[in-house]
Structure 1
Amino acid sequence: MTVAQIPPTEGNVPVITKRTLTTAAAALCAVGALTACGPIAASGTAADTTTVDGSSLTVFISGDTNVQDLWEQGIIPAYEEQNPDVTVNTAIDLHGEHDQQTVAKLTTATQAGDAPGFDLVDAGFVISSAAEADTLLEIDQSTVAGLETVPEGTIDAGKGVGIPYRASSVLLAYDTTTVDAPPRTLDELLTWIEDNPGEFAYNSPSTGGSGGAFVTTVLDSYLSADDQEAMRTGYAKELEAGWDAGFERLSQLGEFVYQGGVYPNGNNQVLELLAGGEISMAPVWSDQFITGQETGLIPDTVAYAQISDPSFTGSASYLGIPRTSEQHEAAIDLVNFVLSSDGQQIIADQISGYPVVALDALPGEVADRFADADPDALRPGYYSEISADMANEWDKRVP
């Protein structure tokens, strides 16, 4: 799979990586600028994309590089091998830094009845702001057959439009050569950080979810259960005033984190510091950590645990199909592949994502590896707009 990148256009719209786009007009549509143009044929006229065979569709990805690699190096090549008449492109907003802008443009395109420029969305905003704006196709087991064995609670969390396809959680990774017994609660972790200056790191929340989970967990420790729930299910901006004590605590911790207040840029940089022995402890995504150990990037001397009171966040990840896409049939076919035994095995093998389908439908090795995983019991993070506000406030108050 050869991939070229088109630089972001004016307004910081997402970068697109593409395989085959035949005209400059097609490239502009696929960039994800959410313009009014639809799919373009080689002649420059609107293409007939009502069937799966011969389709060209675009997956919009708002996430880290591991998710981009999952699609571009795993799911898409396997799907195209089974469906040689279908071409799948990707549009990337790395780290989801422009989610609010993307949702606004998606909403505008939906209201105008225009094709948005992509046909499947992999982003945290699928079950929050995009769902609230009524921009996505309603789905259930009758429309997406692959959902048949996905737990009802996981499906319900998709608000009728989100299609769960993998799950993960943030864990506390630690170097066993320097840490005899890891902290088991948030209070114990905060005490450990202060007692071991420079040995803990977390990335800034705007650059990755592992750091965001640490910040969210500290903030939640000062909030009531009702306020936490409200901030997970809607844009309860008025409750953000309850963050003051949590941000003060995070600011106080600054002198005790890596190099007296250095925050890595992204989840991967945290893993690199841990693997290189520059720190002894950090929050990490389960999928990235397990994959890193399997590939040898993270030594076996690094282990992981989960804290409590509260735990770090985790949840299923959801796909969404734009209502005004002209590729509904093709997008559903791709989704069903992702939820198939082959697709779920690719996710498990490539990024160690928890399967969301019944384990007895998967190969024994995969089922055994995730026997204790329960995506229905994970503690979710904030609503997307709340999460964006949290990252902005962290930038202002903590470094």
Structure 2
Amino acid sequence: MLTSVAVVAAAGLTLAGCAQSSSAADATGSDKKLTVFISADTNIQDLWQKTLIPAFEKANPGYDVSVDFDLHGLHDQQTVAKLTAATVQHKDPGYDLVDAGFVAQLAASGLLTKATPTDIPGLKDVPSDVRAAGGVGGIPYRGSSVVLAYDTKTVATPPKTLDDLLAWIKANPGKFTYNSPDSGGSGGAFVTTVLDKSVSASDRTKMVTGYAPETETAWDTGFATLAGLNPYVYQKGVYPNGNNQVLDLLSSGQISMAPVWSDQFVTGKKTGQIPANIAYTQISDPSFTGGASYLGIPSASPRQKAAETLASWLLTPDAQALVSDSISGYPVIALAKLPAPVQALFKDADIAHLRPGYFATMSADMNKAWAQKVPGK
């Protein structure tokens, strides 16, 4: 499939010209009926539909917000192509705000409206490094990291480093697993972390900030390590589909350890879906990945001002507290602006210093390579 940049080039048009068209669209963009596109797991779908949208509509009478949901981002490439085509053709893409792991890719391809504190006042309360990581047009609105969850009944002392974890997996066959990286970020974080063990700092910077396929040979050692784990993971080379399946295996006692999202874990503990005997820790050398999740406003959307209103509301203390309460997501604005219970919960979580994952197109290549080189080997 053509990348978004290639699609634009093939059409013989420039994104600069497309960006100009969005200004004209904005002149008639007073419509307050918005669509948010979400590429994520069901907990993020619920966050929007059950919590954020009702609260936003209550605080902003006259707005009507709906969701278009793609579970696990199974159609991410098609979505990027659709947004690219809409931008090139000066057509309404049907999405006014995008919540997806490929937002930075959209930003790099010039498909998003530039996000500034002038248009989105809430951005002034977000650390500059966190804003910059999303690219031009990326709007951070929540954060999370992947942690190592374990059963305290069967694991007295959890691993402290990646090497310790790999040794534990081999010493305890069948008691560890992770989901396929294309089905959820917790499995993706485990794969990324194993790969990064053999990736130089300079190559990793390229992988995180853009598309650098020439660096992918540095993954060979890590993929060999992952393939070598097949005899020791749960079901020996057959991997769960999605973050939730991994949590279910852990909660039911079928496995004793797994990488999981911090927000899903804390939420599961609150609701009782994850039993009291399951705890979590973080490994080092390297740690699992984490960071902010970004929104983007497609430059082709004719509802620019309304989309900016929604994006800015998401960065208010009230909305950030809702994210924290609903899914235990890390706030992205200054903790001092949030209620005391939220400050206490996240006092040790510095979103500006979490280890970021790969750029979207690098992650897509990683997922394909994993599928070819790891399962069943």
TM-score, normalising length from structure 2? Answer: 0.91
Counting only pairs closer than 5 Å after superposition, residues 314-333 of structure 1 correspond to structure 2 as 314-333=290-309
- Structure 1 position 368 matched with structure 2 position 344: yes
Read off the aligned partner of 1:303 and give its amino acid letter: A
SS for the counterpart of 2:102 is helix
Aligned residue number for residue 218 of structure 1 = 194
Could you tell me how far 1:160 is from its partner in structure 2? Answer: 2.3
For the aligned residue pairs, the C-alpha RMSD in angstroms reads 1.5
Instruction: For 2:28 and 2:41, locate their aligned partners in 1 and report how far apart those are by CA, in whole Å.
Output: 30
Please state how far the C-alpha of 1:150 moved relative to its aligned partner: 0.9
| 1:83 aligns with one of 60, 85, 92 | 60
Tell me which of 166, 174, 195 is aligned to 2:142.
Answer: 166
Cα-to-partner distance string for 1:226-276 (whole Å, 9 max, x where unaligned): 111111111111211221111111111011001222311100010011111
Mapped contact 1:100–1:385 kept (Cα < 8 A): no
Q: Contact 1:154–1:316 at 8 Å: present in 2 too?
A: yes
Which residue among 148, 166, 172 is the counterpart of 1:196?
172
User: C-alpha distance in 2, partners of 1:206/1:325?
Assistant: 28
Q: Which residue of 2 aligns with 1:17?
A: none
Q: Does 1:312 align with 2:291?
A: no
1:257 to 233, 239, 246: 233
Superposition map of 1:278-297 within 5 A: 278-297=254-273
1:390 to 2:369 alignment:
no
Q: Which residue of 1 aligns with 2:5?
A: none
Matched ranges for 1:242-253 at <5 A: 242-253=218-229
CA distance in 1, matches of 2:213, 2:75: 19
Q: Residue 249 of structure 2 contacts residue 255 of structure 2 at CA under 8 Å; is this kept in 1?
A: yes
2:31 matched to 1:66? no
Q: Is the 8 A contact 1:153 1:376 kept in 2?
A: yes
2: CA distance, partners of 1:231 / 1:246: 15
CA contact (8 A) 2:175 2:255 kept: yes
Partner residue, 1:50: 29
Distance, in Å, in 2 between the alignment partners of 1:349 and 1:264 is 28
Q: Which amino acid aligns with 1:395?
A: A
Task: Tell whether the 8 Å contact from 1:60 to 1:90 is kept in structure 2 after alignment.
Answer: yes
3-state SS in 2 of match to 1:140: coil
In 2, the alpha carbon distance for the partners of 1:332 and 1:130 equals 17
Partner of 1:144: 120
1:116 equivalenced with 2:90 (yes/no) = no
CA–CA separation in structure 2 for the residues paired with 1:183 and 1:49: 57
Deviations 1:19-78 (A, max 9, x none): xxxxxxxxxxxxxxxxxxxxxxxxxxx9x9633xx6111001111111111101110011
Per mean C-alpha deviation after superposition, the further-off stretch among 332-341 and 309-318 is 332-341
Q: Unpaired segments of 5 or more residues in structure 1?
A: 1-45
Cα distance in 2, alignment partners of residues 259 and 58 from structure 1? 40
Q: Aligned residues: percent identity?
A: 58
Query: Does 2:219 align with 1:240?
Result: no
Between the aligned partners of 1:241 and 1:117, the Cα distance in structure 2 is 38
- Deviation, structure 1 residue 324: 1.3
The number of aligned residues is: 351
Select the residue among 106, 125, 136 that pairs with 2:83.
106
Q: Distance in 1 between matches of 2:179 and 2:28?
A: 42
How far apart, CA to CA, are the structure 2 residues paired with 1:66 and 1:232? 25
On the 8 A contact 2:112/2:136 being kept in 1, the answer is: no
Q: What is the deviation of 1:176? A: 0.7
1:118-177 CA distances to partner (integer Å, 9 max, x unpaired)?
1001011111x2112101000111111111211111111122210110000000001111
Alignment deviations for residues 180-205 of structure 1 (CA, whole Å, 9 cap, x no partner): 11101100000000000000010000
Normalized per residue, the structure richer in helix is 2
Matched, 1:303 2:282: no
Give the 4+ runs in structure 1 shifted more than 6 A. none
Distance 1:185 1:252, change over 3 A: same
Corresponding residue number in structure 2 for 1:135: 111
In the TM superposition, what whole-angstrom CA distance separates every residue of 1:66-108 from its partner, at most 9, and x where no partner exists?
Answer: 1111101110011112223111011111111221221122112
Secondary structure of 2:329's aligned partner: coil
- 1:204-241 CA distance string (max 9 Å, x none): 00100000000011111111111111111111112112
| CA displacement 1:263-299 (0-9 Å, x = unmatched) | 1110001001111111110000000000000111111
SS at structure 2 position matched to 1:107? helix
Could you list the runs of 5+ residues in structure 2 that have no partner in the other structure? 1-24
Where relative contact order (Cα < 8 A, 6+ residues apart) is larger, the structure is: 2
Residues 49 and 55, structure 1, Cα contact 8 Å, conserved in 2: no
How far apart, in 2, do the equivalents of 1:297 and 1:311 lie? 26
Letter in 2 for 1:192: W
